Amino acid sequence: MINITLPDGSVRQYESGVSAMDIALSISEGLARNVISAKVDGEVWDTDRSIEKDSAVQLLTWRDDEGKNTFWHSSAHLMAEALQSLYPGIKFTIGPAIERGFYYDVDPGEHKISSEDFKKIEDKMLELARQKNTFERKEVSKAEALAFYKGNEYKEELINDLEDGTITFYTQGDFTDLCRGPHIPQTGIIKAVKLMNVAGAYWRGDENNAQLTRIYGVSFPKQKELTAYLHLLEEAKKRDHRKLGAELELFMFSEKVGAGLPIWLPKGTALRTRLEDFLKNEQIKRGYKPVITPHIAKKELYVTSGHYEKYGEDSFQPIMTPREGEEFLLKPMNCPHHCEIYGHRPRSYKELPLRIAEFGTVYRYEQSGELHGLSRVRGFTQDDAHLFCTPDQLKDEFLGVLDLTRHVLSKMGFEDFTAQISLRDPNNPDKYIGSKENWDNAERAIIEATEEVGLKTTQVEGEAAFYGPKLDFMVRDALGRSWQLGTIQVDYNLPERFELEYIGSDNQGHRPVMIHRAPFGSMERFISVLIEHCAGKFPLWLAPEQFAVLPISDRFNDYAKTIEETLAPFDIRGIIDDRSEKVNRKIRDAEVRKIPFMLIVGEKEAAEGKVSVRKQGEGDVGVMTIEEFKDYFQKQL
């Protein structure tokens, strides 16, 4: 008998060789019908795979992220089976699950696959799904695998990279694929499919390789879930920050300036400045000291920090000075500069903690195909700060940063978030710098601090920064989508690489600990999420234009100017729409521009010193004096 420990801590005994599906059936048939895959000692398995020893087992359903991942991976195989049936001779490469659905990269050969073919592919997928074929796992030798895929140079390349004895095939129906798995129990679970897009993709992401056809899709266990998802996509299109950013005149891009380099227009700059001012004021209250560092630095700085080794391929190429022959880089990170600020003179323990902050612009050479509005750019500004403290101060400083980050998210209306502790990958130590002891200390500090304040967290291996673990805030927007925004990182390694010290009370030199933090993450990405979260209808305190005065004719433009001037000293920002348009058109345009308040003025209002107030999205809220409107407005903040 073996012991199976379930997530609630209960232990059940089974015969060796029991499967996750057997375990589910022993609990209830209803559970068994919904189980997609299982996590066995942290690894996701097929439900029919034999468990031979004492193990911790979690049964995964559609409600679990790993369950969705399995479902979509199997859907990619189902799509490949349909493509094989419809397009003889097609060559398959890889077909993974992604955050929302799946894709498969194929070499279609003589065939051309376009969105016009989606309906017949979808119909074929559902036809095959109804056959309820099981996914059969088979271990094969490298020689067998190469023989099976003879003539498919893509699969041959993948197989040659694998070790003999680690290669598995999965077969469902008439389709067999090189695959690690896992997969759902049978294809009949897939009830609804939708192909979303077709695009070009280079084999293994290398533009020197062959260009393939990438087909994206999504699938669900119920048709109503697909219908809801498609409705969500339509709503997301309306909220797309690129569309709203143009309509609201917040930012722009220029081919002459360069792809991925946003230009902030006056209204967007006003929005961004208010965000920055809010955080700057909070930082001053909490003892941060603002600094400014250059946009470039000598290559040696980033060699010392390790950024050149880890980010060199993603950075802009070094700039060589023509006379001195020195190499400079556009700044990929602010932290090396802040280490230099700390180290520019001797430090005493009495000066610690030292908290320095900067809205610093950094540059990464993202591939053109990965650029996406403000969400993925080549130049972005981080609300960066670095705290240098003694080991004894670390927990309190981390808790202080945690409190600030939660305050920032709350102020922006992001109440629904989860916190992810991103740890190193224990199987890939070459990804990281620093000693195991330093990593152990840093990871323990984050875990203990979050436990102390009762913050619910998940732990994910392999997502740490190369110099230290981090706490990432995964925020859900109004459409339920998850975004990674704020981050806090504990770092024992950069102080060591820069040989930073402080003189302790024992008059000896000691190494400080460093905390990296950015509550917004980057201004560009944060604003893109904020735009889509509120559909361009910003919180009143942030709105670039908080009111629009709408005179019903040119005769009242002077009175409109008086209103604007009266409200300005109270930091109430607005515009005057003095176009020769009918007032209904002006109201409609102000609604489209998401201006919170419309102040309509005509003969009666001008004579009585009043305004007729409309609230965006709600309509008329009454006639008020300017003073009454000021008080009403301030209560809305």
Q: Looking at residue 459, what is its pLDDT?
A: 87
Question: 373 and 426 in one domain?
Answer: yes
Task: Please give the order of strands across the beta sheet that includes 354-363.
Answer: 289-290, 354-363, 379-389, 513-518, 482-491, 470-476, 417-423, 457-461
User: Would you call 161 a catalytic residue per the annotation?
Assistant: no
Question: 411 and 490 in one domain?
Answer: yes
The residue annotated as part of the active site, out of 105, 107, 383, 384, is 384
Contact 271, 541 (CB under 8 A): no
Q: Is there a domain that residue 47 lies in?
A: yes
- Unique residue bearing structure tokens 């916190």: 419
The residue annotated as part of the active site, out of 124, 183, 386, 610, is 386
Which residues form the domain of 15?
2-61
- Unique residue bearing structure tokens 């006639």: 623
> Higher model confidence: residue 322 or residue 198?
198
Question: 579 and 614 in one domain?
Answer: yes
For range 551-562, the mean pLDDT: 94
Contact 296, 320 (CB under 8 A): no
- Of the three residues 226, 260, 284, the one that is the final residue of a domain is 226
Question: 389 and 509 in one domain?
Answer: yes
Contact 373, 528 (CB under 8 A): yes
User: Would you call 516 a catalytic residue per the annotation?
Assistant: yes
Question: 489 and 386 in one domain?
Answer: yes
Q: Is there a domain that residue 306 lies in?
A: no
Contact 391, 352 (CB under 8 A): no
Q: Looking at residue 579, what is its pLDDT?
A: 93
Question: 98 and 145 in one domain?
Answer: yes
pLDDT in tens, 51-99: 999 999 999 999 999 999 999 999 999 999 999 999 999 999 999 999 8
Question: 80 and 56 in one domain?
Answer: no
- Of the three residues 193, 226, 259, the one that is the final residue of a domain is 226
**Which runs of consecutive H residues, i.e. helices, occur in 412-486?**
436-452
For range 106-121, the mean pLDDT: 94
Of the listed ranges 18-22, 72-76, 298-302, 439-443, the least confidently predicted one is 439-443
- Of the three residues 534, 561, 593, the one that is the final residue of a domain is 534
3-class DSSP state for residue 53? coil
Q: Is there a domain that residue 235 lies in?
A: no
pLDDT in tens, 467-479: 888 999 989 888 8
For the chain, what is the domain count?
4
Question: 91 and 53 in one domain?
Answer: no
For range 124-151, the mean pLDDT: 96
Helix or strand (DSSP H, E) at 145? helix 142-148
Residue 351 is given by DSSP the state: G
User: Would you call 335 a catalytic residue per the annotation?
Assistant: yes
Q: Looking at residue 318, what is its pLDDT?
A: 84
For range 510-516, the mean pLDDT: 95
pLDDT in tens, 283-300: 999 999 999 999 999 999
> Rounded to whole angstroms, how far apart are CA atoms 278 and 318?
35
Question: 495 and 410 in one domain?
Answer: yes
Q: Is there a domain that residue 215 lies in?
A: yes
User: Would you call 186 a catalytic residue per the annotation?
Assistant: no
Contact 266, 252 (CB under 8 A): no
The residue annotated as part of the active site, out of 364, 372, 407, 615, is 364
The residue annotated as part of the active site, out of 194, 516, 594, 614, is 516
Question: 156 and 85 in one domain?
Answer: yes
Question: 570 and 470 in one domain?
Answer: no
The residue annotated as part of the active site, out of 68, 299, 470, 594, is 470
> Rounded to whole angstroms, how far apart are CA atoms 136 and 46?
10
> Higher model confidence: residue 444 or residue 321?
444
Residue 186 is given by DSSP the state: B
Residue 349 is given by DSSP the state: G
The CATH number of residue 619's host domain is 3.40.50.800
**C-beta atoms surrounding 404 within 10 Å:** 21
> Rounded to whole angstroms, how far apart are CA atoms 303 and 294?
17
The residue annotated as part of the active site, out of 382, 420, 489, 616, is 382
User: Would you call 77 a catalytic residue per the annotation?
Assistant: no
Contact 70, 184 (CB under 8 A): yes
Question: 486 and 556 in one domain?
Answer: no
